[in-house]
Each structure stands twice: as structure tokens, then as C-alpha cells.
Amino acid sequence: MTSKKVTILSALAVTATLAATSYQNQVGFISKAPKQIAVVDAAGKDVVFRDAEGNSVLTVTAPEASMWAPANQEASLVDFSELTTPGTYRAFVGDDSIGHPINISDNALEGVTKASLKFFYFQRSSMELTEEYAGKYARAMGHPDTAVLYHESTGKEDLTATFNGSKGWYDAGDYGKYVVNSGITTYTLLQLYQHNKAYFDTLNLNIPESKNDVPDILDEIRWNIEWMLTMQDDDGGVFHKLTTKQFAGMVLPEKATSKRFAIGKSITATWDFVGVTALAADIYKRFDAEFAEKCAKAAGAARWWATLHPYDYFTQPKDVGTGSYTDGSAVDERMWGAAELYRISGLPEVLEDLHKFKLINNRRKLQGWQTVYALAAFTMATNPQVFDQEDVDSAKILIFTLADSYIKELNNGFGLAIGNEDFYWGSNSVVANKGMVLIHAYILSDDKKYLDAAQGILDYLLGRNPLDLSYLTGWGVNQVMNPHHRPSEGDTVVAPVPGMLVGGPNSTADDCAKKFIDADAPAKSFYDNSCSYATNEVAINWNAPFAYLAGSLQAIYATGKKYEVGGEKPETFTVDAIPGKKPGVKTFVAGDRLVFKDNAVRLERTLKDGTKSYFDLRGKVIR
């Protein structure tokens, strides 16, 4: 990437000269969807919408202005949903044109849906990106990962041995591949497909597999699942991550050639792996039964390892500086993994894994890489044919508790279900994930207020924000130009790789964006500069909920249908509860007790089949 202008500064300069200022989705509005812009200094004035020929087609009097705290800004929310005829319009106050062109079309979000999914192709490790699919972002293959070393933290004895850990997506602006973050990302994309099959069965992403009979979105996701499968050790446990010891410089993939290692083996990565591979088994069965079986088997083996190593949390080794994705609780990962595995296996012991915990009040949390209760809830609430009433109800309570709390935030001049509390690292994914919760609330209730609130969040990400910025690279009038993204930094193309959602404003950023932190306006705490990984990096777990949000809105309006909850039970897979033993053998824990053994206090775990295993007090299995 060569030098680029810093868009924020120019955006602010322009807005300062206008009488009234309008903040809007800069990409487009679906004809039948709600349409709103936030206008400053216009209360009581007429906002006139004119078509491309200058004819006035609608006049809306701007309502009283009200404050949106994260912007520390009063604005009037102007609703022009009445305008449904496709075309390009502009809004005027008096003679002044405000804001940007307003594009209305039936498939206004198809472009950003495709672009945000194509991002995953651009993130592929172990593959050359050719001009046919990557255009001017074509690049040589990076990181074949065919001979990955084991870091000593994996517990492997032979540290000269290697394994094939190829394929997968680079996590973010760096070249690491992390199972935990792949977990939520892959689930989110699989659910995007699952909830909108009719739309995505034919959506062409122009990727190398586009000509086969499998929907492109599933081909893309499979690239990462195949890598995840390589991260499973022979004992069923899953390595935490595959990275170099330290981050590479800001160079293209092929120039980042330091040795790569499997690092750690963790309970969180392993349960996340169970969740993804179990869901994948169900979804890919239609296209490739053998692959589906492989996924189901892998899920069963991973779950077995997880039941034996409940306390094997990841700790970052001293000689490693790449992303840690550490997490001190695996209750949520276990609930989610168990929900998925039970759904495809019907195994009673897996239901026991799930029922050990409940989705009680303090577990009703927005999903993120570290907190995945909501993923369990999404799956349980949308599968009443699999889960009992109590599970379904607890899942719905989680979803509606969150969704209703977002709806309560809506009453502000920007009309956004976004509050001060959302502006931490990856805030754009925080709000996109709120959109995913809202879409679930809509699917489950048919109440359009949830879908409309999700639309507002999408508009925010595409420009209805106080920086007048589209946070999706390549899209919008004022778009982010300098993301923290090694391939975009390392190449010679001015514009960054398109379709990437940057992290967004972060009121606790502790990097070069620090000087832009506005304590009174967290939504402005952002720096469009590649030095700011805390506000302007990209990441697979940020693009995925954006794709879910944009893709669901587009699919719902395009097909006129939303996902129908219930229906047939998924076909079950034969999953070995204990790998190597007959399925159906009762395996779950009959009891735990402390014993004194080998001169130390040990936890003795007895399984229902009488098998005993011993752990030290840090939870490490002894034998």
C-alpha cells in the first residue's frame, strides 16, 4: 500500500462548511426496507428528497433533535421510508444538498454481502490468489503450512516432528490462525447459510470453486474447516493456534516466512471445535456425506478429550507474542459445543454436558470470541424440534433479554441501538453481533421492530455515524483507507483489499489512536491509520457478523421470507461417545473426589462406566 489520505480529517472539514449535516448509509437502501438519516441543525426544517433529475419526490419535516450519547451530538432522525422507487436521490435543506447520494434498489445490500464474504477468500492461507478471482489484489501463495512444528506447549515429546496444518483463513491483519476465533466466525457464517439457504444456494462469489455444485459460501467456509480439522491431535484435543512465535512485519504473506508452530492445546479451542464440526456435519451432509461423517467423528473425539481435560485453559508461553485468545472459563464453550453435538447425535451424555449449566441471568451476554453462550442460545431457540421446552425457553429468554435492551437504546437522534458501552476493541463487530441477536429476535417473533433495529446498525456501519465514514473498505463515499492489514500494507495497490470491516472506535485504544480518544464521544475515538490495530485492524470474527447482518437483511427482503423455526429433526450421526468404544456407552462423570495419591492431592474422576482418571489441582490430567 502506498500513502493514502486520512479520510476522517477531510470528512470533518467538509461537514464544518455545511448548514445542515446529514449522516447516512453511503452504500444503499433496499427498496422495501426502512430508510433513515440523522440530520444535524435541521430540527423543524423541511428536508426535501430530490430524484436524479432534481424533481422533489418527498418532503419530511425534521423532528426535534435529540442526543445520541456516543457521538455527543444532537440530531433529528429523518425517516423517508416512503420512498421506495429504485433510483438515486439527494436530500436538501433549502438550497443546500446535505449528505451523500441516496441509493435505493431491490438488491442494495447484495454488493456488500458478497464483498464481506469475498474477504474470506482474500484471507486464505496456503493458496495463491490469481487475478481471475483477486483482480489487482492477486498475490503469491503464503504459508503453505505443510510442515508445522509443535511448540513445547502442545505437550508433544518430539519437537522436531511436523504436521500438515495447511489451508484456513488468516485471522486478521496478522497471519496467525487461531481455533478459538475461527470457532465463532465459522459458526456465524454457517448460520448465515442455514438461515437463508434459498438466497445463498445461488450467490456467486467468484472464487476458485464457483463452478462446482456447492454454494460458494459453503466452499469458502470449508477452506477454514479443513484447516480446523488439521488442528486436532490424535487424542481428540485441539491445538489452540497455529502461528509464528512473534508477529511478522507489515509484508505480504509470501515474505512472512518465519517458522510456524502449533501452540498449546486448550479446552476452549476444543469445545469451539466441537461446535463448528458438529454444525458442519449437518450442513455439508447434503453435498458431501463423507466430509460430513469426518466432521461428526472429529466432534465426538474432541468432546471426549474435553470431558477429560475440563481445566486445560490456554496460557500464552513466554516465548510467544502472537494473539492469545485466552479465556478463564469454558462453561459457555461447553454449552455451545454440547448443544451442537447433541443436535446431530442425540447422545444422552452430551445432553448432560449441556445441562450441567443453565443460561441464567449473568450468562445472558452478547456473543464474542470469548463469550459464546448466545451461540448455544441461537441453536437451541431455533431448534425446538430437538431441544426440550425448558432449553428452548431459556435460550429465548437470553435472546429477547438482549434484543429488548437494545431496542430500549433506540430512542436517540441517530436512531441507533448502540450505546457508550459498545465502544471497545472491535466495536464494529460488537454492534454487528447485536444485529445478529436482533435478527434472531425477528426470526423467533416475527416482530419487525427487531429487523428494523438491525437495519439501523447496518446503516451505522456504512456511514450513519459521527465520523461520516463507511467502515467497510471499498464501499461508501468516505471509506476507511488505511486498515491494519498486512496484505494491504505490503502490496503496491493504493486502496486496501475491499470488503473488510475494520474494528472501529475504541475508547480505550492504547496505540497511535490514543490521541483521537474522545471521552465524551466514544463513537469518534478512531484513527484511520494502519498503525492503529486497536481501532483499525480487520478480523474474520468482525467480518462474519457483518456478513450475517447484511446478508440476512438482503436475503429476507429479496426472498420475502425469513427462516422458519422448527421443522424436521436433523438426521443424526453415529458419534462415538468414547472414541473406540461402542456408541451409547454411558460416559459421563459419576463423581469427583479429592484423593491423596503419589504424594500429592489429586482430583479423582469416576465416569459412569467405572473408568477413573486423575488430575492435578491445576486440572492437568495425570493419566
| Number of Cβ within a 10 Å radius of residue 363 | 18
Backbone phi, psi, residue 110, to 5°: -65, -40
Q: Strand order of the sheet with strand 589-597?
A: 589-597, 600-607, 612-615
- State the minimum distance, in angstroms, from the CB of residue 109 to ligand 9MR: 25
**Catalytic pick from 145, 452, 528, 576?**
528
Beta carbon nearer to ligand 9MR, 479 or 506: 506
Q: How far is the CB of 171 from ligand 9MR (least distance, A)?
A: 5
Q: In terms of CB distance, is 174 or 349 closer to ligand 9MR?
A: 174
Residue nearer to ligand 9MR on the CB measure, 22 or 116: 116
Distances (CA, A) of 608 to 516, 572, 581, 587: 58, 24, 14, 5
Question: Is-contact 231 206, C-beta < 8 A?
Answer: no
Closest separation in Å from C-beta 117 to ligand 9MR:
19
Catalytic residue among 220, 491, 537, 576: 537
User: Would you say 533 or 557 has its CB closer to ligand 9MR?
Assistant: 533
Q: Which of 484, 485, 491, 576 is catalytic?
A: 484
Amino acid identity for residue 580 in this structure: G
Query: Which residue has its beta carbon closest to ligand 9MR?
Result: 323
Using CB under 6 A, list all residues that contact ligand 9MR: 171-172, 174, 176, 323, 425-426, 533, 537, 539
- Establish whether 174 is a catalytic residue: yes
Query: Would residue 528 show up in a list of annotated catalytic residues for this protein?
Result: yes
Nearer to ligand 9MR, 235 or 511 (CB): 511
Give the nearest distance from C-beta 3 to ligand 9MR in angstroms: 23
| Catalytically annotated residue among 110, 174, 332, 353 | 174
Taking the complex as a whole, how short is the minimal distance between the CB of residue 398 and ligand 9MR, in angstroms?
A: 21
Rounded to whole angstroms, what are the CA distances from 300 to 293, 308, 418, 583? 11, 13, 39, 10
CA max distance for the chain: 88
201 is catalytic: no
| Min CB(253)–ligand 9MR separation in Å | 15
The smaller minimum CB distance to ligand 9MR, of residues 174 and 216, is found at 174
Q: What backbone torsions phi and psi does residue 215 show, to the nearest 5 degrees?
A: -55, 140
Nearest approach, Cβ of 223 to ligand 9MR (angstroms)?
Answer: 18
Query: 417-456 b/e with 16+ CB inside 10 Å = b?
Result: bbbeebbbbbbbbbbbbbbbbbbbbbbbeeeeebbbbbbb
Integer Rg of the chain from CA: 25
Of 467, 597, 613, 617, nearest to 536 by C-alpha is 467
* Rounded Cα–Cα distance for residues 527 and 534 (Å): 9
Nearer to ligand 9MR, 474 or 504 (CB): 504
| Residue pointed to by grid coordinates 511478522 | 248
Torsion on CA atoms 93, 94, 95, 99, rounded to nearest 10? 0
Based on the residue annotation, tell me whether 598 is a catalytic residue of this protein: no
E runs forming strands in 24-118: 29-30, 36-40, 46-50, 56-61, 66-68, 73-79, 87-93, 96-105
Q: Which residues are catalytic?
A: 174, 484, 528, 537
